[in-house]
Structure 1
Amino acid sequence: MTRIFCNYGDRNQKNEYILNKSQSYGDAPTKVRKTDHYKKEYIQSFVEKWDELIDWEARQKGEGKFFLTELKKRNKHKILDVATGTGYHSVALMKNGFEVRSADGSPEMLAKAFENGKNAGQILTTIQADWRWLNRDVHSRFDAAICLGNSFTHLFSENDRRKALAEFYSALKHDGILIIDHRNYDAILDNQDFTTKHTYYYAGDNVKAAPEHVDNGLARFRYEFPDESVYHLNMFPLREQYVRKLLKEVGFQKITTYGDFQETHKTDKPDFFIHIAEKSYNQ
């Protein structure tokens, strides 16, 4: 391990953290099912390759103006990106005039996001925060919160998921919205021959992202890169209706679900589901 110091955005303090040189899953990788383990997964070498996996240009073509359109038509301007990762959505929103705060639990991701923002001509305001105690570190109220890139699947216990959603809910203004996405785990769990189109997410050239092990409590994904390096992520397989149920029970009044950016997805199995949950009460 290497001990290093980083300074993120407008935070006038240096954060000391341990930089792992390799992912650590122990002797039984499929037994690792704890929320806090993401800290050992997003090691520096994996983070440095993340944009190779995502491919910002390909992702922009796939998403189009979906998020911009949905936020603008609801008059949402002040946005909290709770899982900024390497900053793709934060940068895209800022370039289109939105006021954005960029949060993530991984200091490595925040450092990369800030670097990407500078390279794109944007200075990100970054916040290192655990979702379960989000409002301890985030003190403003927002028109919208976004939790994208399959990030919510890093929470392995129902208590953690409910606590995080409650924190998202609290961070929103009275008429705020939450936009949250996740892989189509229904298709992965129910179809042994599942394949992904890689049209919208993980669209990098010659990068492979596929499930290595799947059961009702774990989806372990393997990521292979052109230089033959291999990384893994252990995630909880969220079913579409389960997420909708949680959002309702936390207090969101109306949930609209899209499949690969289309509200109607009955005739094809999407790679991803996107939920737009509205906080305001609708009679």
Structure 2
Amino acid sequence: MTTKPWYEDLFENYANKYDSESFTQGTKGECDFIERELQSNKTLKIIDVGCGTGRHTIELTKRGYSVTGIDLSASQLKKAREKAATENLDIDFRQQDARNITLKNEFDVAIMLCEGGFPLMETDEMNFEILKSVTEALKAKGKFVFTTLNGLFPLFNSVEKFLAAEGKEGNATYRDNSFDLMTFRDHNVTEFEDDDGNKKVIASNERYYVPSEITWLLKSIGYRNIDIFGAKLGAFSRNDKLTTKDFEMLVIAEL
């Protein structure tokens, strides 16, 4: 039995497979939204937290933005650097823990999309450390755009059925989901095949948040304007009011 946290185990040798997962297919549309939020201001410095294989970092760099990508996983970063090299892009990818980002007051904008660290941590305190650490990486009037799991969804819907319907052949599968009303954590057994074709089974759990929690957490670390919307894959929009049918929520916060 592994002693690593489940998310480290998952991403250890999963970079190629990760890029074919259904939830990673909305990159261009999501970057369109980021551009609209930034009013296409290419002087802004961006940090992509939990950048994975670099899909948003690379797409935004191609569009002329200055982006630094950080991730905990060496194998995800290796894939990101390879992808950047094939596009002849010089991108600063760094292996960093989102709970302890060493870059302080450097960025105008932080993005953290597709559960890039938050809300995967073992405790609420660790998840909060990520929000604080990202905030410390921002300049005084910084903006933070991220997606996270919508705690309203599992109260009205089956997470297991949703994930089964969204997946496709070759993707990771999830079973034995149980949602804990006291902690708002969904526990499940995740089965997947790594990049070497090895079948792996891990016990994972993710924290779902309700909008009022996110608002309170962000206000407590200095954000003044906080907007929360439904997050539709590849089509983020301020026009999508958050509902119980949204699996994820889109958070836009300004210091």
TM range (shorter): 0.7 to 0.9
Paired residues of 2:223 and 2:253 also in contact (CA < 8 A): yes
Partner deviation per Cα, 1:209-236 (whole Å, 9 max, x = no partner): 54642323432363556x8945557232
SS at 2:223's partner residue? coil
Q: Find the aligned partners of 2:164 and 2:143 in 1 and give their Cα distance.
A: 27
Paired residues of 2:46 and 2:111 also in contact (CA < 8 A): yes
Residue of structure 2 equivalent to 1:179 = 145
Partner deviation per Cα, 1:177-205 (whole Å, 9 max, x = no partner): 11111133421244237643899xx7766
Q: Find the aligned partners of 2:176 and 2:88 in 1 and give their Cα distance.
A: 38
Pairing 1:109–2:85 present:
no
Paired residues of 1:181 and 1:275 also in contact (CA < 8 A): yes
Partner deviation per Cα, 1:108-144 (whole Å, 9 max, x = no partner): 111111112112332220111112221xx32451000
TM-score by length of 1: 0.72
Pairing 1:52–2:20 present:
yes
Pairing 1:239–2:215 present:
no
Residue of structure 2 equivalent to 1:42 = 11
CA RMSD of the aligned region, Å?
Answer: 3.2
In the alignment, structure 1 segments of 5+ residues that lack a partner are: 1-23, 27-33
Partner amino acid, structure 2, of 1:237: R
In 2 relative to 1, CA 215–267 (structure 1 residues): closer, same or farther, beyond 3 Å?
closer
Note the 1:272-283 alignment, pairs <5 A: 272-279=248-255
In 2 relative to 1, CA 118–273 (structure 1 residues): closer, same or farther, beyond 3 Å?
same
Partner amino acid, structure 2, of 1:207: N
Partner amino acid, structure 2, of 1:145: A
Shift of 1:244: 2.3
Paired residues of 1:145 and 1:178 also in contact (CA < 8 A): yes
SS at 2:178's partner residue? strand
Q: Find the aligned partners of 2:135 and 2:159 in 1 and give their Cα distance.
A: 37
Pairing 1:160–2:136 present:
no
TM-score by length of 2: 0.79
Shift of 1:55: 7.3
In 2 relative to 1, CA 159–228 (structure 1 residues): closer, same or farther, beyond 3 Å?
closer
Pairing 1:213–2:177 present:
yes
Shift of 1:240: 2.9
In 2 relative to 1, CA 60–84 (structure 1 residues): closer, same or farther, beyond 3 Å?
closer
Shift of 1:248: 1.5
Shift of 1:52: 1.4
SS at 1:154's partner residue? coil
Pairing 1:120–2:90 present:
no
Residue of structure 2 equivalent to 1:96 = 63
Paired residues of 1:42 and 1:106 also in contact (CA < 8 A): yes
Q: Find the aligned partners of 2:176 and 2:39 in 1 and give their Cα distance.
A: 39
Identity of aligned residues (%): 24
Pairing 1:265–2:241 present:
yes
Residue correspondences, number: 242
In 2 relative to 1, CA 211–179 (structure 1 residues): closer, same or farther, beyond 3 Å?
farther
Q: Higher relative CO (CA 8 A, sep ≥ 6), structure 1 or 2? A: 2
In 2 relative to 1, CA 209–37 (structure 1 residues): closer, same or farther, beyond 3 Å?
closer
- Return structure 1 stretches of 4+ with deviation > 4 angstroms: 73-76, 202-206, 208-211, 227-233
